[in-house]
Amino acid sequence: MLRIGIDLGGTKTEGIVMDGAGTILLRERQITPQADGYQAILNTVRDLVLELEKKSGASCRVGVGTPGALSTRTGRLKNSNTVCLIGQPIQQDLENLLARPIRLANDANCFTLSEALDGAGRDAALVFGVIMGTGVGGGIVLNGKLHEGPQHIAGEWGHNVLEPDGPLCYCGKQGCVETFLSGPGLMRDWRKQEGDAALEAKDIVARAGQGDPKAEAVMQRYLDRFGRALSVVINILDPDVVVLGGGMSNIARLYTDGRDNVARYVFNDELRTQILPHVHGDSSGVRGAAQLWNPAE
C-alpha cells in the first residue's frame, strides 16, 4: 500500500507519497498557516493528503511528523515549538478529519527512523539519531522499530543538563545540551566571549577554519561539549550508529575532532560506534513520517 508522509514544520508543511520500495512518487509543499491558528493547520494537512491521494489515484496510509510529542496521559501535544499546536489532541483531530487511523511521531524520531531504515544507519541494529539545528533532539530505532517509551521522550538528550550553571533553557532547566549544541547556543557562546559582536553559527565555524584564534576557542568548547554530551548517550545505549542531522550536522569537524572527544569521554578504550552524517538531507523527516507504516500494512 502507498504511504503518505507529512512533515508538519513551523514554516512549511511537506507531503510525499512513498511506494513499498521507499521511492518518493510525489511531493507537495505548503506554507504552514501558523498565524491562522490550529484549525487552519489541520485543514492544510487534510488538503495535502487529499491532493496527494488524488494525484496518485490511491488511498494511502498517513504518517505525520511534528515537533513535540503526544502526552501519553492526555493524548495532547507537548514540547512543540509550533506553539499553537501545544495542548491540542492533534492525532485524534486529524483522524476525525481524514476518517482513518493515522500515525504521528516527533520529527526527530521520524528523522531517525528514515536514516535507520534506508539511510546512514541502514543494516545497523541500534541507531541513535540526532538533530542539531535551532534545537537539539534525538530518537532511538532498534531493529528497525522506533522506541518512544512510556513518556514519549526516548532519545531527548537535548534536555540532559550538561553544565548546571549554563544558560537558562526554555524547558525551565539550566545548561541543557541544547543551550550549547544548537545553532543559537554556539552564537550565544561567541557573544559571551566577544561581547556584542553577533556572528552566525556558520561564520564562527568558517572563521575558526581560517585560523582565527577567538573563533577556534569557541569551536574547541563546542566540540568538547559535543563529546561530553554524546558520550553520556553512548554509555547508556551503546548504539552501532549515531546519525547526525540538522543544520549544525554540516560542521565537518564533528566527525573528526568531535568524534575524538566522544572517544575520550566514553567508558571504553576505543569507540566502535560510527558517527555519520545523514543521507536523506531535508527529506529524512517526511520520509520517516511515511515509514511510520510498513509497506505491508
- Chain residues binding Zn ion by CB under 5 A are 159, 169, 171, 173, 176
* Minimum distance, C-beta of residue 153 to Zn ion, in the bound complex (Å): 12
Which helix (H) or strand (E) element contains residue 66? strand 61-66
User: 120 vs 154, which CB is nearer to Zn ion?
Assistant: 154
Q: Residue 24 has what DSSP assignment?
A: E
CA 159/CA 175 separation, integer angstroms: 9
User: 81 vs 92, which CB is nearer to Zn ion?
Assistant: 81
* Minimum distance, C-beta of residue 163 to Zn ion, in the bound complex (Å): 12
* Minimum distance, C-beta of residue 7 to Zn ion, in the bound complex (Å): 23
User: 228 vs 253, which CB is nearer to Zn ion?
Assistant: 228
* Minimum distance, C-beta of residue 65 to Zn ion, in the bound complex (Å): 21
CA 102/CA 292 separation, integer angstroms: 9
* Minimum distance, C-beta of residue 239 to Zn ion, in the bound complex (Å): 22
What type of residue is 189? Answer: D
Give Cα separations from 107 to 133, 148, 155, 253, 283 (angstroms): 12, 12, 12, 25, 11
* Minimum distance, C-beta of residue 279 to Zn ion, in the bound complex (Å): 29
Quick one: cell of 190?
Answer: 561567541
Q: If we measure between CA atoms, which residue out of 280, 286, 297, 282 comes closest to residue 122?
A: 280
User: 154 vs 263, which CB is nearer to Zn ion?
Assistant: 154
CA 289/CA 162 separation, integer angstroms: 30
Q: Residue 180 has what DSSP assignment?
A: H
User: 46 vs 173, which CB is nearer to Zn ion?
Assistant: 173
Give the strand order in the sheet containing 103-106.
24-31, 12-18, 3-8, 61-66, 103-106
User: 16 vs 233, which CB is nearer to Zn ion?
Assistant: 233
Quick one: cell of 289?
Answer: 513520517
Give Cα separations from 211 to 27, 201, 204, 258 (angstroms): 42, 16, 11, 18
User: 153 vs 217, which CB is nearer to Zn ion?
Assistant: 153
* Minimum distance, C-beta of residue 175 to Zn ion, in the bound complex (Å): 9
CB 82 within 8 A of CB 69: no
